[in-house]
Structure 1
């Protein structure tokens, strides 16, 4: 039975404009599991009200790390088999760093008045089913999320300082050639790609995008994964 991936829609040429959904898309492509990709705007029916999630053999699984663990176990995947305990610990640290970066990325799109108009225009242009009213409601909802998470209480420069610190650590972590742990990508590379691609291909010059552009190893890593996952023949169709 084919796996179904449910995640947010495309934007600026990437398969999902959310880092977590793009992470799972990339992981599925890297391991060669066939799947169909269903794009949603409304996450209310998803597990915990969050995207992405998958349906695999009648089982619904949410949360990107839980999805990867489920797929690895159920399908006997070997993408991370050669990793040492130290490398697995490093991957956990990177995953938590990306969790922090997520909030700054989202802030740059929905909250910062300098970039919101261009982001809104891109969504409306690429997804005509969206409306100004619907996006305004989504923005208000995100403002509430940001406030309770904490990033919404930051002034823009302070918010970006946090995100740039995350990117600086990532840039030092990723080697100048190959992938994170060698010549072949592992699951952490899919996670890094999910976020960096949503910065690198984002057609709006935020401080995050400018930083990524200044680090050739981040760009090279992103493009290497992008080439693999966007041209992989065993992946699934999008709808």
Structure 2
């Protein structure tokens, strides 16, 4: 059986990282049976990144590579009906979510207005992790943000990037149904992975405020959340 390894659950979602939650939702949508194991330490993962899967002895990392593997191996038809234009939209939105990831992560680990609340909520749910451990992760993430570039932005500049990405999503996600019609496709899993990790965060960041005030994003998120379940 396929096993998904990803970061721990938090705030009612099955993975507190958008990429792992994307894969989780995709596998649920596509009807693939899998085991889900949570890790705090990604050092042993491919390229030191989560999520990854083990499937019949094969180790596969990167969320898009995992999805492509599952589609090919299990002959999944979830995206079979997409047009060429819809596939291009999926590609562009997927790359935009890569940008949104950094803003979402920044809001948790870098912005001192919100990090203490995030730290305390994480420890409340995962009591094996203490403040020293999270502060160590915070310092590691600060290095990542610096080299990626977002760590050199002011909070206002960083959030401007995320809000621009969210505005595009708000214009793409319909008021009812899914991005490409009545049934979900892989891009809905991707959007959910990131929006859920903003929407269910009980901390009033600027990006959460945006999501909260856009009913179509909330409806899309809650619909998928109810369909795929929690951890």
TM range, normalised to the smaller chain? Answer: over 0.9
- Once the two structures are TM-superposed, the CA of residue 136 in structure 1 deviates from its matched residue by 1.0
Match of 2:137 in 1: 138
- Counterparts of 1:59 and 1:229 in 2: how far apart (Å)? 25
- Once the two structures are TM-superposed, the CA of residue 132 in structure 1 deviates from its matched residue by 1.3
Matched length: 231
Q: TM-score, normalised by structure 2?
A: 0.99
Could you list the runs of 4 or more consecutive aligned residues of structure 1 that deviate by over 6 angstroms after TM superposition?
A: none
- Counterparts of 1:138 and 1:174 in 2: how far apart (Å)? 33
Q: What is the correspondence of 1:11-90 to structure 2 with a 5 Å cutoff?
A: 11-90=10-89
- Once the two structures are TM-superposed, the CA of residue 103 in structure 1 deviates from its matched residue by 0.1
Secondary structure, counterpart of 2:66 in structure 1:
helix
Match of 2:148 in 1: 149
RMSD: 0.8
- Once the two structures are TM-superposed, the CA of residue 56 in structure 1 deviates from its matched residue by 0.8
- Counterparts of 2:175 and 2:124 in 1: how far apart (Å)? 36
Match of 1:197 in 2: 196
- Counterparts of 2:101 and 2:9 in 1: how far apart (Å)? 17
Match of 1:209 in 2: 208
- Counterparts of 2:199 and 2:135 in 1: how far apart (Å)? 25
Match of 1:235 in 2: none
Q: What is the correspondence of 1:86-125 to structure 2 with a 5 Å cutoff?
A: 86-125=85-124
When structure 1 is superposed on structure 2, of 100-109 and 133-142 the one drifting more is 133-142
- Once the two structures are TM-superposed, the CA of residue 177 in structure 1 deviates from its matched residue by 1.2
- Counterparts of 2:81 and 2:208 in 1: how far apart (Å)? 33
- Counterparts of 2:197 and 2:227 in 1: how far apart (Å)? 16
When structure 1 is superposed on structure 2, of 158-167 and 131-140 the one drifting more is 131-140
Structure 2: gaps (5+ residues): none
Match of 1:227 in 2: 226
- Once the two structures are TM-superposed, the CA of residue 32 in structure 1 deviates from its matched residue by 1.0
- Counterparts of 1:36 and 1:170 in 2: how far apart (Å)? 30
